[in-house]
Structure 1
Amino acid sequence: MPRIQAPSVAEHHARQRRALLDAARALLAESAQAPSMAAVGRRAGLARTSVYQYFTSAEELLAAVVADVFPDWAGQVVARVAAAPTPATRVWAYVEANVDLFTSSEQAVARALTQVVEPRMLRGPMEEFHARLQVPLRQALADFGEPEPETIAELVDSLIVQASRAAGPADCTEAAGARNVTLARLRRLLGPYLGLNPMAED
């Protein structure tokens, strides 16, 4: 039996499961294909047979990835919004956090999941993800004095998606290029509304 390098068996299992989920996410981002159990085990440093102790099939593993990534992404955005000191900066923190997700390897994970997971499996988590994010954004807009926070929140989301998609290879000569281009464009659009300096560095 492998040596348990954790305070308890339960924590050991939690760490191993976490390693498998992280490995699956990394492989999805790299290949945009459903990873095999053997590949996930190799990436996590576990034998293929050990993977089956945590997930009975590749489908169950992918379902676990779906259940893991959306709350993780939402938590990242919500935490950054909560840390901002004013309503205007909370709105901008929401924009920055979402752009960071769109321009990171996590977006490759999201694209891969839409290709390898059945739509019905994604629908619920995606709806919950969107609904959870709308709460702090709408509250920040309401605190900012926006009379139509629900409508403006939807428009802000649309701007983020469109601006992120519009930052193509021609705009980006370095790894951070897509993020910088996208945020610069969004700041020019939203900066005057939020009272932020349109030319400030992010």
Structure 2
Amino acid sequence: MAEHRTMQRGALLDAARTLLSDGGTEALTFPALAERTGLARSSVYEYFRSRAAVVEELCAVDFPVWAAEIEAAMEHAGTPEGKVEAYVRRQLVLVGDQRHRAVVAISASELDAGAREKIRAAHGGLVAMIVAALEALRHEQPLMAAMLLQGVVDAAVRRIELGAEDPRAVADAAVAMALRGVRG
């Protein structure tokens, strides 16, 4: 029984990712979740009490996976500059991932305080990852630089999502800007 519930919960989260990715937050409804998973609408409420609860669960499940991928890319880099580049590039590669598209849709919506705090904490975890590399580069203010570096990444993400430029060109420009910025 517990295994069945775990599978159903996973199916609901997969459906939520697809709905958010394809149609934004307006598409994330309990009737749509029920339809995508073959559950009765009332059954969806057995797993999640609200849309915000679905969003919080997605954050709890997806952000750590995303962060682990970024961290692994950084660990493979041999130099602090390589870690900065890996930090930027891996986040930009993830733009095409359904988890990222779902997170963007979530971030654009009106969320309750709990969900918003989870997103803030997850982003704080990303910023914390790069601080050590900036310290190794002897940056005078590594935390502030990390926050500004994340701003470069966020701007590059928006450019890629707009589809106006080649994603590789955007990534190259973001990496160049990031490396020039952290070197001073």
TM-score range, shorter chain: 0.7 to 0.9
Q: Which amino acid aligns with 2:106?
A: L
> Which residue in 2 is equivalent to 1:140?
133
Matches of 1:166 and 1:130 in 2, distance apart? 19
Q: Which amino acid aligns with 1:18?
A: G
Q: Which amino acid aligns with 2:10?
A: R
Q: Which amino acid aligns with 1:187?
A: V
- 1:113-124 map, 5 Å: 113-124=106-117
Matches of 2:49 and 2:136 in 1, distance apart? 47
TM-score normalized by the length of structure 1: 0.72
2:34–2:41 Cα contact (<8 Å) kept: yes
Matches of 2:50 and 2:147 in 1, distance apart? 38
Q: Which amino acid aligns with 1:12?
A: H
Deviates more, 1:26-35 or 1:75-84: 75-84
SS in 1 for 2:78: coil
Task: Give the CA deviation at 1:134.
Answer: 2.0
Tell me: higher relative CO, structure 1 or 2? Use CA pairs within 8 A at least 6 residues apart: 2
> Which residue in 2 is equivalent to 1:181?
169
> Which residue in 1 is equivalent to 2:163?
169
Q: Which amino acid aligns with 2:172?
A: A
Matches of 2:54 and 2:84 in 1, distance apart? 35
Q: Which amino acid aligns with 1:189?
A: M
Q: Which amino acid aligns with 2:135?
A: A
What stretches of structure 2 of length at least 5 have no aligned partner? Answer: none
Task: Among all aligned residue pairs of Structure 1 and Structure 2, give the percentage whose two residues are the same amino acid.
Answer: 29
> Which residue in 2 is equivalent to 1:76?
69
What stretches of structure 1 of length at least 5 have no aligned partner? Answer: 1-8, 172-176, 196-202
Compute the RMSD of aligned alpha carbons.
Answer: 2.9
2:88–2:175 Cα contact (<8 Å) kept: no
Identify if the C-alpha distance between structure 1 residues 157 and 194 changes in structure 2 by more than 3 Å, giving closer, same or farther.
closer
SS in 2 for 1:170: coil
When the two structures are aligned, how many residues end up with a matched partner?
A: 181
- Structure of greater Rg: 1
- 1:17-56 map, 5 Å: 17-32=9-24, 33-56=26-49
Q: Which amino acid aligns with 2:117?
A: G
